[in-house]
């Protein structure tokens, strides 16, 4: 119990999260979501998200402290997502972190949201072997990262050149008349469908694309292919086999994600693949990654679904890692940076 007690604040998108950890042990993970307020718009509305964070931040903070059975005075450091994300949403978390830090005389650590998605796995599986490859797939990001040293930063190997993987799930769900966010209903529908029934394209996997885009992703062509397929059915007056479309679409996304992530591991001789972000909650992605990795002796680490989507615990986990590594805290004029690089 000598390890420092770290509180993490997350407000980069539509989840207000406050997590508390000691070392790799999760003590509290309080969450307030504005996802239902965005559902009727089919995507996150920045102004609505900012206002919701403003209303939720103090009660969520109080809930986390109560859940962990500690007070602000017991906390050793406060970590907060300083980017990337929605500018107004980030500002609420950063301002709150600074306010609490100033009032309680605690150091504050501004952390990168993507690195936090990687760090959260340590709460479930312990220290991350380095180097590792990280596949980060969420509503806002799809990236392959080389994690040499999580405390000093990570190296991007590739990213999406158009839509993020989660965005593709959300758009295809909308097309199929499924609710927002689209990942969970597609995951559910797909279980009853035939993943081999429709051959949807695998973006940037052809030899000519691989030369220039080895570890990049593209999902907009896939989304368009699904739209065309569905429209053709509707024009012909035939019913749309939702489960088959969902399963075939999901199969294409998971195929691309796992083959590129495992190619990166093998090219660099790396034996650990960690997967994070909201799409890492996808049941087919988890199963396919494990199945394919086994052939190469690569270990796949995916945290439980609740830790994959945005939360405060991931920010606390990265803060804890930074403190343990002796990294200096941020200055109190720490800005929110919507395009914060890794
Ligand atoms: O990491 P996250 O909570 O927020 C961002 O940082 O974007 O990710 C949200 C995204 C949404 O696009 C949602 O549809 C997707 O993660 N998602 C899923 C699943 N659960 C959430 N995608 C596929 N399968 C799922 N089970
Ligand atoms: Zn995220």
Could you report the predicted ipTM of this complex, rounded to two decimals? 0.98
Q: Is the dihedral of CA 304, 305, 308, 311 positive or negative?
A: negative
**CB-based burial of residue 25 (10 Å sphere; 0-12 exposed, 13-18 middle, 19+ buried)?**
exposed
Residue nearest to atom 14 of ligand 1 (CA): 183
The domain spans of the chain are 5-120+311-324, 128-304
Per CATH, the architecture of 5-120+311-324 is what? 2-Layer Sandwich (3.30)
Ligand 2 mean position, distance from CA 172 (Å): 20
Of the listed ligands, the closest to the CA of 137 is 1
d(CA 244, CA 43): 24
Ligand 1, CB cutoff 6 Å, lining residues: 13, 138-140, 166, 169-170, 181-184, 187, 277-279, 281-282, 309-310
Distance in angstroms between the alpha carbons of the first and the last residue of the chain: 31
Element (H, E) at 308: helix 305-308
**Quick one: tokens of 291?**
């199945």
- C-alpha to C-alpha distance for 63 and 291, rounded to whole angstroms: 39
Same fold, 5-120+311-324 and 128-304: yes
Q: Residue 120: which of 308, 326, 338 has the closest Cα?
A: 308
Q: Which of 16, 31, 85, 139 to mutate to test the pocket of ligand 1 (most atoms within 8 A of CB)?
A: 139
Q: What is the pLDDT of residue 141?
A: 87
pTM over 0.80: yes
Name residues with Cβ closer than 5 Å to ligand 2, which is an ion. 138, 310
209 marked as part of a ligand binding site = no
Q: Which pLDDT score is estimated for 259?
A: 96
Please report, for residues 43, 47, 155, 159, 165, the alpha-carbon distance to residue 38 in angstroms, rounded to integers and kept in the order given: 6, 10, 33, 26, 19
Q: Which pLDDT value is given to residue 323?
A: 97
Q: How far is the CA of 141 from the centre of ligand 1 (A)?
A: 10
- pLDDT tens-digit map of 144-166: 999 999 999 899 999 999 999 99
- Contact 36/331 with Cβ under 8 angstroms? no
The ligand that comes nearest to the alpha carbon of residue 182 is: 1
Whole-number pLDDT of residue 1: 56
Distance of CA 73 to the CA centre of its chain: 30
Regions in the chain scoring below 50 on pLDDT: none
The domain over range 128-304 is classified in CATH as 3.30.420.40? yes
């Amino acid at each position: 119990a000598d390890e420092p007690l770290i509180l993490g604040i997350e407000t980069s998108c539509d989840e207000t999260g406050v997590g508390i950890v000691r070392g790799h042990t999760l003590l509290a993970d309080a969450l307030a979501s504005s996802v239902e307020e965005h559902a009727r718009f089919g995507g996150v509305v920045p102004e609505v998200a900012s206002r919701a964070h403003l209303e939720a931040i103090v009660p969520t903070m109080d809930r986390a402290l109560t859940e962990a059975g500690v007070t602000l005075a017991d906390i050793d450091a406060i970590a907060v997502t300083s980017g990337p994300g929605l500018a107004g949403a980030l500002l609420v978390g950063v301002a709150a972190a600074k306010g609490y830090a100033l009032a309680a005389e605690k150091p504050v650590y501004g952390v990168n949201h993507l690195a936090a998605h990687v760090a959260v796995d340590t709460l479930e599986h312990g220290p991350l072997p380095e180097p590792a490859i990280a596949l980060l797939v969420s509503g806002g990001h799809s990236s392959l990262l080389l994690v040499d040293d999580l405390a000093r930063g990570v190296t991007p190997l590739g990213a999406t050149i158009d839509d993020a993987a989660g965005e593709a799930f959300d758009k295809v769900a909308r097309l199929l008349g499924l609710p927002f966010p689209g990942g969970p209903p597609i995951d559910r529908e797909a279980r009853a469908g035939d993943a081999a029934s429709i051959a949807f394209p695998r973006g940037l996997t052809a030899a000519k694309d691989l030369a220039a885009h080895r570890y990049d992703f593209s999902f907009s062509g896939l989304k368009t292919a699904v739209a065309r397929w569905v429209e053709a059915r509707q024009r012909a007056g035939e019913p749309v086999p939702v489960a088959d479309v969902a399963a075939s679409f999901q199969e294409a996304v998971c195929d691309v994600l796992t083959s590129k992530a495992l190619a990166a591991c093998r090219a660099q001789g790396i034996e650990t693949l960690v997967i994070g972000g909201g799409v890492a909650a996808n049941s087919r992605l988890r199963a396919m990654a494990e199945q394919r990795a086994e052939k190469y002796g690569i270990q796949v680490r995916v945290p439980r679904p609740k830790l994959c989507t945005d939360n405060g615990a991931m920010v606390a986990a990265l803060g804890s890692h930074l403190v343990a590594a002796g990294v200096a805290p941020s200055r109190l004029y720490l800005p929110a940076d919507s395009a914060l690089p890794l």
